[in-house]
Structures are given as structure tokens and as C-alpha cells.
Chain A
Amino acid sequence: MATKNLLQAIHDGLAEEMRADETVMVMGEDVGRAGGVFRVTQGLQDEFGEARVFDTPLAESLIVGSAIGLSVNGMRPVAEIQFADFIPPAFDQIVNEAALFYYRSNGAYTVPITIRAPYGVVPGGALFHSQSVEAFFCNTPGLKVVAPTFPADAKGALKSAIRDPNPVLFLEHKKAYRLLKGEVPDDDYAVPLDRAKVHREGTDLTVISYGLMLNDVMLAAEKISGEHGIETEVVEPISLYPLDRETILSSAKKTGKTLVVSEANLEGSVSGEIAALVAEHAFEWLDGPVRRIGAPDSPAAPFAKPLTDAFVPSAAAIEAAMLELARY
């Protein structure tokens, strides 16, 4: 096992799947010769050739539309949207074509595409390089939305996404690319898309989180365990849509207190759906209000650093909310 960052893990996952299945291909802006703006696809064109790893015009609708066409003809394309902020032009292709194709064709065609999209706030990213777009897609039956956080989970989940017969939107937190490192198994493995992951067992409260915030949650959980003896159970959904209700509810019932933490703004968010799930189905086990932490309902994200810092939930705010709920 080697220690890898998120970027390397995703790269390795792509390369391994391409070696294992010749129908897997990579397409997107600058993914070929340049190796991707974040270098996720570096070296893939050299290894697999221009027919399987190729650059597209700057047109998201075309990227996803072509991938759909290739997929119904037997290929398993991995389409990259350079920044999740630019996914709206492909919205129609994703929700009206990819998500509905199987149903509309009465099961004649599956659309096994994977759409990779880096999301989340990075310093200086401002309006068009910072957005969390998951909520736009988490109300679309026929589509899967996954957002693994740590390197090993991301690699295994990417393999599952590529192998999945359904269209999968695969979200990668771009600030985590080089920041988050972890042991990644060398052998072939897949992380199931329908299972949330319990990263840490606890008895006093449950925190459900994804993205870079999850890392802050994990650090805070260790901190308040050492300083206050409060044991936090940390659950990562992995799949944002559909949610693994069983794992989320069993943890919420176990601790009686649930906090949902993500970088997305709260109203109409995935966090809202998780909170509703817990409130609706774990009511008689609850020992405190279901709480959420997220960004304000304001256009994401300001350019100025102090404003960015105010926009993104801070590690201190997360820790304080965890303590408050635990003591509620």
C-alpha cells in the first residue's frame, strides 16, 4: 500500500480501468495533450492513444452529449467537466437525456457514462471556480451523484462509477486534490456506490459530511474526544443521490443527535435532504435538533480572502457546533 493524494488516486483509478476494459475512454477539455488542468489525466493519452483519450471543444453540452452517444454504442466514456461551475450547459444532456434514456427506451439502452467534475471552494476561485453543484442533480431519478472525499474511497468509487450501467456524476473536491493524502491499496478493489461509510464510531453525536469539510469534521472529532471525551460518529454518504438511508438512519438512531456539514449553501441542499430523512424516520430516537452547517445563501464564492473565509464553514465553527449539539 502506498500513500497517495486524491489526484493520484483518481488518476490511478482511471488508468487501471482503461487497462482492464478497452471500452473505457476519457474525454474533455485539455484532458489529452495537457493531461488536464489539475493533471488528473496526465500520461493517459501517451499510454492509451488519442482515440481513447481526447480533447474536446470548449462545449459542455457536446462533451456529455457525445459521451451519451458513445455509451449507447457500447463504450464506457469518462467525460470531464473542467470545473463543476461550467456544468449548466450540459444540464439538459444530463437530466433529460442521460438520466432518462434507460426508462425512455424501455430498458433497451443503458447509459454507462461517468461525468467527472471538480467542485468546491479554492482560494481565489471566486464565482466560477468554487461552486458546489450537487443539489442541482440530486433530484433527478435515473442519475447517480457520488462525492467521495478521501483518496482510497475516491479511487474505488470511480471504478464502481465506470462499471455502473447508469450515468454517474462523480464530484471531486478540487482543494482536496493535493491536500488529502492516504493509504491506497495497490490491488484492484471497488467501493460500492450504495453504501455510506462510517469513518469513525461514536456514541454522543453523528456528523454526516462530505467534501473537504469532512476532513475538518474528522479532526474536530479527534480533538473533542481528547479534550472533552465526546465521541463523534462520522458518516460520509459517498453517494449523495440516492442516499444510503440505512447507514445514515442507523447512526442517527444510535447517537440521537445529528449534524450535517457540507460546503454547499443550505436551502434546498443535500444537507436538507439528509436532515429531513433523519427527522422523518429517526424521530423517536432523537435527543436533539437535527442541525446543519453550510455556506450562506449567497452567490458562491467571494474572491477576497476574508470573504472566502467567512463564506466557507470554518473548522472552529464545525467544532463549536459539534460541542454544542453533544451537550444539548
Chain B
Amino acid sequence: MAEPITMPQLGESVTEGTITRWLKAEGDEVEQDEPIAEVDTDKVNTELPSPLAGTLQKLLISEGTTVDVGAEIALVATGGEETPESPPREDAAAEAPTEEFPAAHTEAQPVASASPTARTETMPGGNGNGRSVADAEELRLRRSSPVVRRLAAEHGVEISSIPGTGTGGRVTKKDIESFVEDQEPAPKTPPEPARAAPQRVAAHDGDRIEELTGIRRAIANRMALSKREIPHAWTLVEVDMTGLVALREREKTAFMEREGVKLTYLPFIVQAAVEALRENPVLNSVWDGDRIVLRKKVNIGVAVDLEDALIVPVIPNADELNLTGLARRIDAVVKRARSGELTADDVSGGTFTVNNPGSLGSVASAPIINHPQAAILQAEAIVKRPVVVDDAIAIRSIMNLEVSFDHRVLDGGVALRFLNAVKRRLEEYGPESGTG
């Protein structure tokens, strides 16, 4: 009996994957969890382990082809009697996946034997797990009302793409009218399918055109999404790092010898941020349409520059690690990021992001929030500056520390309480502080 292998979801917000190379050929035996293909997604390149053991009967996707998550990519014959043809019921379902309501008395909708898919669709959902209620609520919002549906059809807009101000976030007639009004001034374009051809710029002599890599496209999509959806606000404080600089200078050699990793400023900043997040949990949250989800876990994404791209591996449960633990984990993911060894898990589940463009010499920048998180912390270069200390001019090591935040979720007050909490912790360090 042949069972399909589908494209798995390799990380949050990953919707498709490219089979870059098949590691097995048709007819090969595969063990469970044995790699059968190399897959390139927006986030990672990884090997795809077989979820089944058996004989690889058919490869449904050719190398270099991109398919949606959930699409069938191969068939594996899993022991038992060898049936060259699948039962007609499954065939019908596979051939007509887009037929929402197959005609009666056809293969897809046999008279007597209800297909498994048909059964799930008609099964009453009220089994106590709240699923059907959520579905009904989602339908209510998506269907909105007759006039909204009519206007959506007339103007070719998706109701779900419009922010709703009605009961429970419903899109009202006024919402869609003002949405359409905002859109219309642009030259009237016919309603476009989801994947419209991008508008091309004029190419000049000698221009070189580079096709997007998966990671470049992912960065482009995520950044555009973040800027489009999130009303960014930005603020900055100056942090006197003199004490911490002295501490690091004193400890770095011993730390390297003892722990085997370099002592950078990043773990200090991440630790201070984690503690400040505990005091200001709203920065560790997500805007969720008509509510805010406050994350319990503190999973800190650390932005890593890869010369031609940027990737944000995640340190899960960063609040459970001490300074040394953070230093080791950060060092490990940065190394894996640079050598292209990150797994899907390494880049999933972040709740807050710390970026340190200071390591590249930046002294001020306005970061784009790592959608859908609520905020991002930005640590700039530590620069010696003349500053006023106790009414005297002193040379101090100063660092600009910035936060961009989702102004729907929080306001400047809490953003600055957070920043000042980070600042206070960083300024408490002195040459005599430990690095445990």
C-alpha cells in the first residue's frame, strides 16, 4: 500500500519548500527518518527525513521545484500487499483537490460510501474542544455582511485583508469603503490574482539582474510585511558602558580559557534585556488582530549578519540561562548560522529580537521589527565620548541603545521603562563584577 510523503512545515511562517536534490531514487528502500531529499526553504536548507519506512515508489516532484507545505512529494510503498493502483476513492480525492463540492454520483462523491474527506467536512464539530466555535467566528469575520461581500467583489479586495472596526473586529461597510477609497486613487488596475507579476523597473545598459535566493525573498517579504502592518515607533537612550568595558577587558582572556568561547558584549545585553522583559512583559508579545498575546516563553532572536543576508537564530528560554550559558549558546548559533547549518528549529519561535549593528560600527539605526513580535532591541557601537559626569567632563564609553516597538501593542512610556531597565543593568557593571 503506497502512502504519500508531504512537504513538511519547516519552521514558523514557512509556506513552501524547494526540493533541491533527491537523495533517493525511485525503487530505493528507505528507513524511517533516513534523509530522502534536500529541501531549501525561506529560512533554512535542510535534509528531509522520511516519515515512513518502505520502498520509494514514486517521486512526484522534480528537483528544483517549489511546492506548498502539505503538497505530496513522493509515494512510499509500506510493506503489506503490493497494490499498483491505489483504491479509487483516494485517487478521486487526489485528482480533485480543488473541487470543494464534488458533483453527486461522481467518483469524487460516490453515492453510498462517503469519502473520508467528505466525512470530516460534514462531521458536527461540537465536540467540546471549541474548534467549531472558532471556525464559526472566523467565518463570521470573513463573510462579514452581504454589502461588504458585494463591495469586496466589485473592487476585487480580500475582506480578510481589511482592518475591521465592527463587533469583534468585523469589517463593516464603512471599513471597506474607506479601504477602497484609500486604494482607488492609484490607477485603476483590474483585480489581480494573489501572485501578480511584479512591476519591473527600467533596466539600463550594463545592469546585472540577480534572481532572488530563498533567503533574500524571505527577508524582503518579512520586512515589507512588518513595515506594512506594524506602526513602528522608535526611541533611544545612551548607556554608559565604561564599567562593562573595563570588566570585559579584565575577564576576556580568562573567560576564553575557562569557557572556550569569546566574551562579547552581546550576552550581557541579552541578559539585561531578558530581565527587563520580565519587568515589562508587554514587549514580549504579539499583536493578534483584536487582542494581544503575551508570550510566556522568552525566546530571544539574535540577528546574525551573513554578508549577503541576515538571519535571526533563536535562543529558546533565554531567561533560564546565566551569562556563561548565554555566551555559549549565542556563540554556537552564530557559528552554525555562518556555516549554514541552522535547522528549522533554530530559527523558529522567537518572541523578542536583539540586534547589535554596533559590531559593524553603526552608532544609530531604526530597526524593523521582526514580525510578528512587538519590539526589537538595537545595541549600537560603544564609542568613547566626552560626557559630563558630576559637572566635570569625562571620557566615557557610550553606547546608543534603541528599541523599535509596535505602537498598537504598547506606547513610548513602557518602551522607555524597558530601555531604562536594560540601561540600568548594563551601567551597574564594574571591573569588579563577576562573569558567572
B-contacting residues of A (Cβ < 8 Å)? 256, 283-288, 324, 327-328
Contact = CB atoms under 8 A, between A and B. Distances in A.
A286 B170 contact: no
A283 B146 contact: yes
Given A256-B173, A328-B172, A286 B145 contact: yes
27 contacts: A256-B145, A256-B147, A256-B173, A283-B146, A284-B146, A284-B147, A284-B150, A285-B146, A285-B147, A285-B150, A286-B145, A286-B146, A286-B147, A287-B145, A287-B146, A287-B147, A287-B148, A287-B172, A287-B173, A288-B145, A324-B167, A327-B166, A327-B167, A328-B166, A328-B167, A328-B170, A328-B172
Most chain B CB neighbours (cut-off 10 Å) among A284, A287, A324: A287
Contacts of A287: 145-148, 172-173
Interface of B: 145-148, 150, 166-167, 170, 172-173
A288 B166 CA distance: 10
A256 B172 CA distance: 10
A258 to B, nearest CB: 12
Contacts of A288: 145
Nearest to A255: B173
A76 B182 CA distance: 61
Contacts of A286: 145-147
B35 to A, nearest CB: 54
B430 to A, nearest CB: 57
B136 to A, nearest CB: 15
Contacts of A256: 145, 147, 173
Nearest to B165: A327
A286 B148 CA distance: 8
Q: Which 10 A-B pairs have the closest CB atoms?
A: A287-B173, A287-B145, A287-B147, A284-B150, A286-B146, A256-B173, A284-B146, A285-B147, A328-B167, A256-B147
A253 B95 CA distance: 44
Nearest to B170: A328
Contacts of B150: 284-285
Nearest to A287: B173
Contacts of A324: 167
A68 to B, nearest CB: 46
Judged by DSSP, the binding face of B is helix
B68 to A, nearest CB: 34
Contacts of A285: 146-147, 150
Contacts of A283: 146
A327 B148 CA distance: 15
Nearest to A324: B167
Contacts of A327: 166-167
B231 to A, nearest CB: 23
Nearest to A279: B146
B267 to A, nearest CB: 50
Nearest to B145: A287
B137 to A, nearest CB: 15
B299 to A, nearest CB: 38
Contacts of B166: 327-328
Given A324-B167, A328-B167, 19 more contacts: A256-B145, A256-B147, A284-B146, A284-B147, A284-B150, A285-B146, A285-B147, A286-B146, A286-B147, A287-B145, A287-B146, A287-B147, A287-B148, A288-B145, A327-B166, A327-B167, A328-B166, A328-B170, A328-B172
Contacts of B167: 324, 327-328
Nearest to B173: A287
A11 B223 CA distance: 75
Contacts of B145: 256, 286-288
Nearest to A203: B174
A328 to B, nearest CB: 5
B150 to A, nearest CB: 5
A229 to B, nearest CB: 12
B149 to A, nearest CB: 8
Contacts of A284: 146-147, 150
A113 B259 CA distance: 106
A284 B170 CA distance: 17
A286 B147 CA distance: 5
A283 B145 CA distance: 9
A288 B170 CA distance: 10
A288 B146 CA distance: 8
Nearest to B176: A287
A328 B166 CA distance: 5
Nearest to A289: B145
A159 B148 CA distance: 44
For B147, B150, B167, the residue with the greatest tally of chain A CB atoms inside 10 Å of its CB is: B147
A287 B166 CA distance: 10
A283 B150 CA distance: 10
A286 B145 CA distance: 7
B141 to A, nearest CB: 13
Nearest to B167: A328
Nearest to B166: A328
A163 to B, nearest CB: 41
A288 to B, nearest CB: 6
A269 to B, nearest CB: 24
A288 B147 CA distance: 9
Contacts of B172: 287, 328
Contacts of B147: 256, 284-287
A279 to B, nearest CB: 10
A285 B150 CA distance: 8
A286 B146 CA distance: 6
B134 to A, nearest CB: 20
A288 B174 CA distance: 12
A150 B379 CA distance: 72
B163 to A, nearest CB: 15
A89 B150 CA distance: 50
A127 to B, nearest CB: 39
Contacts of B148: 287
A53 B215 CA distance: 95
Nearest to A285: B147
A287 B173 CA distance: 6
Contacts of B170: 328
A274 to B, nearest CB: 18
A324 B168 CA distance: 12
B384 to A, nearest CB: 57
A287 B151 CA distance: 11
A102 to B, nearest CB: 40
A63 to B, nearest CB: 48
A327 B56 CA distance: 58
Nearest to A253: B147
A187 to B, nearest CB: 43
